[in-house]
Amino acid sequence: MGFLWVCGVRVESQDLGSWDLVGVYTDRSLALQACQSENHFLFPVVANMECRAGTETPAGVEWPHREIPSTNDWESPRIPR
């Protein structure tokens, strides 16, 4: 099993937790390059592994353009299925 890196962008005009998928990458550095603003984030997922149903904050989420990366202002992003 290998990791894939998901890059997304928070959609401020919609409900708390709404986001758009920017891309999925095999390398973390490529996902970081795709993060263009403080609303962009990335997180790792394991390839070929089923995700739990429901909404939750992804494990390992990073906000690379925030001074103090955190998920405090975003409690439950919607995971694409």
pTM of the model: 0.71
Predicted local confidence at residue 75, as pLDDT: 44
Predicted local confidence at residue 1, as pLDDT: 62
How far, in Å, CA of 47 to CA of 66, rounded? 27
Long-range contacts of 24-29 (CB under 8 A, 24+ apart): 26/2
DSSP 17: T
In tens digits, what is the pLDDT along the chain, a chain of 81 residues?
Answer: 678 999 999 887 756 668 899 999 999 999 999 999 988 999 999 888 877 776 667 778 888 887 654 544 444 344 333
Predicted local confidence at residue 44, as pLDDT: 92
